[in-house]
Amino acid sequence: MPDSILTVTVAATVRNLAELVSVKAELDLGDGADGADLLRRIRAVSTAIDRFCGRTLARETLQEVVRPVRALDVLVLSRYPVASITSIVADGATLVAGTDFEADLETGRIWRLSGDVRCCWRCRKITALYAAGYLLPGQVGANLPEDITRACIVAVTASYQAKGRDPLLRSEASQDVGQKSYMDPRAHSSGLPPQAIDLLRDGGYVSVRV
């Protein structure tokens, strides 16, 4: 992976991956119940999901400077999906979309073109200005995948329902009553429940870039 510096030029103003009303509906809570507590949990879970996925999912405007140590077959931007590309400058020359490069916006991959044929990036410095990420629930034009929102709701619900429990307690048994298990043996160090992790992994939202 080439050395790169990523700078956020316009930060996201909304980062919650699920809305309070959706979480309350999942928990069957009234309008005024535990709103502040649930919002705090939504924020914490949204941050945990970003960390687990290896990128900020909310849409932001970015500048990425890449200094390849060798010729690149494809330029892979750090954030995706890409919503728009403002400019790509290679060694001081501003490239023209469709003529000098083409992009797969969903994956953030950009190919260099020469005579309408893909070729290697042979330059010392590439500067990309672009916007990437999703519009989140509650925003106009929201396009965050439902699986991610569902993962957030599942994780917040699990967190809320675990209030007051000993986090180290794996199970509890009572004679003539039965046995309860509080923690799934597949629990992950991310703090997310396995059901949420499955949604994120199965949907292909976890970055595997190296």
Omega before residue 193 within 30° of 0, cis? no
Structure tokens given for 115: 């005579």
Does residue 210 surpass a pLDDT of 50?
no
Query: How many whole angstroms separate alpha carbon 127 and alpha carbon 115?
Result: 22
pLDDT band at 32 (very low <50, low <70, confident <90, very high): confident
Q: What digits encode the pLDDT tens for the residues 117-162?
A: 999 999 999 999 999 999 999 999 999 999 999 999 999 999 999 8
Q: Return the closest-CA partner of residue 22 out of 117, 103, 142, 129.
A: 142
115 has pLDDT over 60: yes
Is pLDDT above 50 for 33? yes
What Cα–Cα distance (Å) separates residue 126 from each residue in 52, 129, 134, 147? Answer: 28, 10, 24, 34
Residue 179 pLDDT class (50, 70, 90 cuts): low
The predicted structure's pLDDT at residue 178? 59
Q: What is the pLDDT of residues 34-93, one digit of tens each?
A: 889 999 999 999 999 999 999 999 999 999 999 999 999 999 999 999 999 999 999 999
User: Which range, of 9-13, 21-25, 27-31, 156-160, averages the lowest pLDDT?
Assistant: 27-31
